[in-house]
Amino acid sequence: MKTIQAHQEYVEWLSAEQMHQDSKSWLSELLFIKDEHLFFEDLIKSFTLQLIIPEKFSENKEIIDILNRSQKQTNLLIEAVKVHTNELQIMLDGINQIKEEAAYRKSHRGLIIQLNDFEKYYRLLKAQIFDIIKNIKKEDKLNHLLAKR
């Protein structure tokens, strides 16, 4: 006799208010990330000469390309969260629309996963950018000290 294992998915019941709070929090965080992207662009512009040295150009270019993709992903996520927030009306209209409400909850869970993945990816990107800038500053300081001798 064969046993069949079923995978059960843990689904937390979220109220419409909780989903609305999640959406507001996501949007706030994404808008902050969008502002951080502008900061990183300015930072990169101020260190352009150091970033384009031949020894490190390809590595630095890759990070800048990743930053550009992150900006595009952030804009897409902002739009997705705005649309998701606008669709919350399905949950609040007082009409039992079981399929639509289930689809909304499913899309909410999907956004939770998508935003968590994006946040992990973005943290790594930030760390890489700060490491590059930190190394540039260290090299500049060392060159400055050597020039004084």
d(CA 13, CA 138): 51
- Report the first-to-last Cα separation within the chain, whole angstroms: 83
What is the model's pTM? 0.79
Number of domains the chain contains: 1
pLDDT, residue 83, reads: 93
pLDDT tens over the chain, length 149 residues: 444 544 444 445 678 888 889 999 999 999 999 999 999 999 888 888 777 777 777 787 888 899 999 999 999 999 999 999 988 887 777 677 788 888 888 999 999 999 999 999 999 999 999 998 898 889 888 887 777 76
pLDDT, residue 103, reads: 86
110 within domain boundaries: yes
1 within domain boundaries: no
Residue 138 structural domain: 17-143
136 within domain boundaries: yes
CA angle 70, 75, 77 (to 5 degrees): 90
Instruction: Please give the radius of gyration of the chain, using alpha carbons only, rounded to the nearest integer.
Output: 23
